[in-house]
Structure 1
Amino acid sequence: MTQEPSLPNLALDLDALTAAAGEQPDRQAAWRFIRAFARDWSRSPLAGTDGHTPADLDAAQARLGLPLPTALREAYQLLGARSDLTDNQDSLLAPEDLYLDADRGVLVFRVENQSCAYWGIRVTDLDQDDPPVVVRADLVRPTADDWAAWLGRVSVAFVEIVLSEALCADEDLMGWVTPDDTGLPEDIAATFRRLPLPEYPISQQPGSRWYAHDEIILRDDRGTAMFRARTEAAFDRFDGEDEDDEVD
């Protein structure tokens, strides 16, 4: 039987990630993954003061006149005030800044750094504990409904947010890979494991995929790929500066 290659020093909670993104919804697994990721990949583990208070979220609900789904409230209470995990490239809106795209019936909670894209939840889905997330590009000529499915659950979307924002957290530890016509370069395709996150946006496949190997996370956007190392040593190994330490 062929054995799957080992992943030394991966520093990711794959069990939690698998449970979070599996067919049976487990949003608590998403929060476990994010806690572990913050501990191992960010400036400090998550603390009780890193989120917004229930009162902050209650005030947002009252102002909007809309319920906030349980998963969204949990995410904001867990890490909503940790900008290093949520705001290195794009911005997670504070509770007081959440707003409704009334023309299309979407509650917006995240904005691209140049306001070129927005993420939200359809008002018709706000009664779900862990509803789907939709995305909209800032089109020159917006249509009546130009929101498209992004990820199937809020909890999984926050896993993606934390991973994507980590790519831009430290310029000295990040870089780019140019895929060839068939996909990722052969050496990466052979050694990296695809992470158990769905390909997304789920409405526009082929889409982005996540991979990891030896303290490196990598997002393949089908045309370009961005990576982030957890340590300088891992960056040097991946960037070819310490080839004696390469993993076969």
Structure 2
Amino acid sequence: MTDMFLEKFRALVPKYLEDEWQEEDGLTPAELDEALSAHTFTIPLVLREFYLALGGCEDLMEAYHYFWDPEELEVDDEGFLMFLEDEEERFTWGFRVSELSVPDPIVWRRNNVRGQWKSEDGTFSEFVFDMFDWAFSDED
């Protein structure tokens, strides 16, 4: 299968960290498969390539929001695969389990106090690129 997002995610390292992408910035396919082996679900292609590109890069995996390590991924009672949380744990982001076969599914955000999910109206790749632009902007 052709990599759809891998190089775009790898390009985030030089863009935001002013350093070349290194192999240790990502996970190897074997490391990722091992981390996911206990799960009963399959992650979308875009999330797989995100981990392959950046799963070892703490400066991006924990840039204001915290991407969950592959072994930490979980599905909630409402049928959302959760992958990201803000630093104050007010919001969690995820995908509908029914859309995990979509290569780049729509991202949903849960208000953790209310327990309500709302669509972000954008795919994972769009969401990630926008989030990093925001997190690394010079504005306060």
Q: For this structure pair, what is the TM-score category when the shorter chain's length is used for normalisation? A: 0.7 to 0.9
TM-score by length of 1: 0.50
Aligned pairs for 1:1-248 within 5 A = 27-28=4-5, 31-32=7-8, 34-101=9-76, 103-139=77-113, 141-142=114-115, 146-167=116-137, 174-176=138-140
CA RMSD of aligned residues (A): 2.2
- Does the CA-based 8 Å contact 1:64-1:100 persist in structure 2? no
Deviation of the 1:160 alpha carbon: 2.2
User: Alignment partner of 2:34: what SS?
Assistant: helix
Alignment-mate amino acid for residue 128 of structure 2: F
Considering only CA atoms, is the larger Rg found in Structure 1 or Structure 2? Answer: 1
Q: Label 1:31 to 1:135 Cα distance change in 2 as closer, same or farther (>3 A).
A: farther
Alignment-mate amino acid for residue 165 of structure 1: A
Q: Label 1:31 to 1:161 Cα distance change in 2 as closer, same or farther (>3 A).
A: farther
Deviation of the 1:71 alpha carbon: 0.9
Deviation of the 1:60 alpha carbon: 4.0
TM-score by length of 2: 0.84
Paired residues, number: 138
Gaps of 5+ in 1: 1-26, 168-173, 177-248
- Does the CA-based 8 Å contact 2:66-2:84 persist in structure 1? yes
User: How far apart, in 2, do the equivalents of 1:151 and 1:83 lie?
Assistant: 27
- Looking at both structures, which has the greater relative contact order when contacts are Cα pairs under 8 Å and sequence separation is at least 6? 2
User: How far apart, in 2, do the equivalents of 1:60 and 1:129 lie?
Assistant: 20
Task: Work out the percentage of aligned pairs sharing the same amino acid.
Answer: 29
- Does the CA-based 8 Å contact 1:120-1:133 persist in structure 2? yes
